[in-house]
Amino acid sequence: MPEHGCVIMSEHSLYAFDISLHPLPHGAVAGPPYEDDCGVWVTRVAPREAVHEPFAVPYDEALERFAAIERMVVEPDGALLCAAGVAERAWQIDGTAWDLGGRLLRVDVRGTCPAAMFDGLLGACGWPEQQVLVQLVRPAVFLAEVTFRSHATARWTRATGATLRVRGPFS
């Protein structure tokens, strides 16, 4: 089975997701396949205690890194919000950065965004030096970063984010 689905990204593609970002723990191995309406995806299984290990980056430094991302609003409690674009290319992400012992524990984030914005989120977590494990929140499965990117592209392509955000009068 391939590592990820076969999804071709274009410069106009966005990622659509509802995820938690964790540091990639030692001992993470290939898990059983996960199938959803976007395809079949190779999962990762990590030792249970490993998902409670924080990133190497200090929490306050991570918040500073998030705040340095263009258009990103960061609250002292770790709340994150960023939006941009117009019409069909409009996107928004929101979430929360969590701390444990002064270090970034995980980041819960949902919405839609371009790949470059997602790279910025990962960079604030210490990526690419520190690899990440991506948890899809609703099915509670873990994916490798490259697999996640294909999944998020497929999800946006299939639903164009409609299942993630209700468009209001100001959208």
Q: What is the pLDDT of residue 136?
A: 98
CA distance 51 to 14: 27
Mean pLDDT score, 119-135: 97
Give the residue, 105 or 11, on which the prediction is more confident: 105
Q: Give the predicted TM-score (pTM) of the model.
A: 0.86
Within 13 Å of residue 4, how many CA atoms lie on the same side as its CB?
Answer: 16
What mean pLDDT value characterizes the chain?
88
Q: What is the pLDDT of residue 7?
A: 43
* Closest among 90, 97, 151, 153 to 122, alpha carbons compared: 97
Q: What is the pLDDT of residue 120?
A: 97
119 near 9, Cβ under 8 Å?
A: no
Per-residue pLDDT at 66 exceeds 50? yes
Give the tokens for residue 99. Answer: 């701390």
CA distance 43 to 113: 23
CA distance 74 to 81: 7
Cβ burial, residue 1 (10 Å; 0-12/13-18/19+) = exposed
Q: Provide the angle, in degrees to the nearest 10, between the axes of the packed helices 59-67 and 115-124.
A: 150
Q: Confidence band (pLDDT; 50, 70, 90) for 169?
A: very low
Mean pLDDT score, 29-46: 96
What pLDDT digit, counting tens, does each position of 69-87 carry? 999 999 999 999 999 977 6
CA distance 100 to 106: 9
Sheet strands (E) in 7-140? 15-23, 29-36, 39-45, 73-74, 79-84, 91-100, 103-113, 132-136
Q: What is the pLDDT of residue 12?
A: 60
